[in-house]
Structure 1
Amino acid sequence: MPTVEQNRANWTEHTWAGQGDEWSGLWGGTESLWWGSLLPRLHAFVPTETILEIAPGFGRATQYLKDLCQHLTVVDVTERCIDACKQRFSSSSNITYYVNDGKSLNMISDHSIDVVFSFDSLVHAEPDVIKAYLSQMRRILKPNGMGFIHHSNVGGIPPFIKKIPFIRRALDQGWRSEGMTARLFQRYCEQAELQCVGQEIINRITRYPLPHDCFSLFTLPYSPWARRYRAFTNLGFAYEAAYLAKQTRLYSKSSFRTEI
């Protein structure tokens, strides 16, 4: 769990009341998430010519990515999400949209992508999905291409910890893949003749700082981004988000009430 079919059904039926912004509450909003946590991790690779976003949902990150490239391609297994993105970004002429089967990137041309990006969606994908996507990256990436994938690391948490009732409940609420790990991502990169150049193992829960997620960077072995593998475990990630939320409450435009 969850399978591709379960993901398609779940995100088709989801209310999407906040267009995906409902998952940015830890940061105090999506704007704070982007400028405070995501762009600092991506800034070395953008702006660029072409970006591929896998599983954009209702466009939470898409709204920023589209302005950082000449052409953005978004691919999602859920037709409802693609339709929502088409409507939301109807005034943007540099976006191409595809509904896929949850694993295939056959619609992407060879050596056409500078940056592959996915955040907060593939945490719900099982290892076979991650492996399938990575197996196609060597074909679609340009020689200087780079990938940033957010995926589950629940499989890397010791089983005896996951059996603790309150830990089990917290993990179940996140609906993450139980089998995916940071080490598996490295192995899949090796099998796909890619180089995993960095991983940041993170927590998304402040109350129980568990290493249940991972940001993975990968590239082609001969690209300018190739280097020796580097990694660290950041169990302060959720606290970073909470700190940004405090900043947002003080400094954001929305925090000021306009007097009339």
Structure 2
Amino acid sequence: MPTIEENRQNWTNYSWPQQGNEWSGFWGGTEFLWWGTLFPRIHAFVPTETILEIGPGYGRVTTYLKDLCKRLIVVDVTEDCIQACQQQFAANSHITYYVNDGKSLEMIPAESIDFVISHDSLVHAERDVIEAYLSQMSRILKPNGVGFLQHSHVGAIPPLFRSVPPLRKRLARIWRAESMTARLFQQYCEKADLQCVSQEIINRATKYPLPHDCFSLFARKHSVWARPNRVFTNVLFSYEALYLTKLASLYAASSFEERYRLLHLQ
């Protein structure tokens, strides 16, 4: 059960060998992660005026978000991550950066955010962190603002299954929060006067198909986006990523880099 301080230390000490893009190998690269998985799920809400990204890491998704808004705010618990983003996006004057305590969004003005997103970061956050962030969303979101957060669903896996050594080893390797579930997320939304409008429960491996993550979409109670929650357990999510990996081997820009270099040397 990673604490906020453990998360801070872990990502401060992590070497970031490919600036976070190493975590996109499951999709064949970050460009296929974005265009094949993330953008199709959020395209209804962007471009927009102001986006808040929680947990940008070294900016692999920030790279795309910055071009979809007039103002981008990034918040991370790890100072090294914020510094890396500041260096990478130094030419983009519309980005504001904050190091927070892992729970607080007090620096964000009321009703200032059109879209909030967190991908592959809050999966390491336990239930107290998710509840704390959601408790502030009805304040910072504009009346028709929307949030898209990826979080852990490991708490819904029966303890008996979690104790099986191969699965236990995998869960330890991906370092998911064990107290969080999709149902808890919905309850925290209700408590914060938010409406959870959809939840896609996913798995990130074909060998162990037990879903352990969730994409949760939410809005303010009286938003134009508000509706009864729709929950979908997508047991084929890992195959979606494998399909994108195959496409990446054919079409990804990186697969043509050497040829491009040789052409420009002639």
TM-score (norm 2): 0.96
Q: Residue deviations 1:143-196, cap 9 Å, x none? A: 010000000000001111111111111111110100000000001001101000
> Is residue 2:222 matched to residue 1:222?
yes
Question: How far off is 1:239 after superposition?
Answer: 1.2
Counterpart position of 2:79: 79
Question: How far off is 1:29 after superposition?
Answer: 0.4
* Matched residue type, 1:99: V
Question: How far off is 1:253 after superposition?
Answer: 2.6
Question: How far off is 1:197 after superposition?
Answer: 0.5
Q: Secondary structure at the match of 1:43?
A: helix
Counterpart position of 1:108: 108
Question: How far off is 1:35 after superposition?
Answer: 0.3
Q: Secondary structure at the match of 2:16?
A: coil
List aligned pairs for 1:127-206, cutoff 5 A.
127-206=127-206
In structure 2, what is the Cα distance between the partners aligned to 1:206 and 1:55? 27
Q: Secondary structure at the match of 1:135?
A: helix
Counterpart position of 1:234: 234
Counterpart position of 1:13: 13
In structure 1, what is the Cα distance between the partners aligned to 2:12 and 2:162? 29
* Matched residue type, 1:36: G
In structure 2, what is the Cα distance between the partners aligned to 1:224 and 1:253? 38
Aligned length: 260
Q: Residue deviations 1:209-235, cap 9 Å, x none? A: 111000000100111101121110001
* Matched residue type, 1:133: Y
Counterpart position of 1:43: 43
List aligned pairs for 1:45-60, cutoff 5 A.
45-60=45-60
**Structure 1 moving runs of 4+ over 4 Å:** none
* Matched residue type, 1:215: F
In structure 2, what is the Cα distance between the partners aligned to 1:153 and 1:88? 32
Counterpart position of 1:207: 207
Counterpart position of 1:89: 89
Q: Residue deviations 1:85-126, cap 9 Å, x none? A: 000000001100000000000000000000010000000000
Q: Residue deviations 1:22-45, cap 9 Å, x none? A: 100010100010000000000000
Q: Secondary structure at the match of 2:49?
A: strand
Counterpart position of 2:247: 247
In structure 2, what is the Cα distance between the partners aligned to 1:160 and 1:61? 35
The sequence identity of aligned pairs, in percent, is 67
* Matched residue type, 1:201: I
List aligned pairs for 1:27-42, cutoff 5 A.
27-42=27-42
* Matched residue type, 1:208: Y
In structure 2, what is the Cα distance between the partners aligned to 1:20 and 1:158? 31
Name whichever of 200-209 and 134-143 sits farther off. 200-209
In structure 2, what is the Cα distance between the partners aligned to 1:15 and 1:206? 28
Structure 2, unaligned stretches of length 5 or more?
Answer: none
Q: Secondary structure at the match of 1:34?
A: helix
Structure 1, unaligned stretches of length 5 or more?
Answer: none
In structure 2, what is the Cα distance between the partners aligned to 1:235 and 1:115? 27
Q: Secondary structure at the match of 2:107?
A: coil
Q: Secondary structure at the match of 1:31?
A: helix
Q: Output the aligned Cα RMSD.
A: 0.8
In structure 2, what is the Cα distance between the partners aligned to 1:169 and 1:183? 25
* Matched residue type, 2:62: T
Question: How far off is 1:208 after superposition?
Answer: 1.0
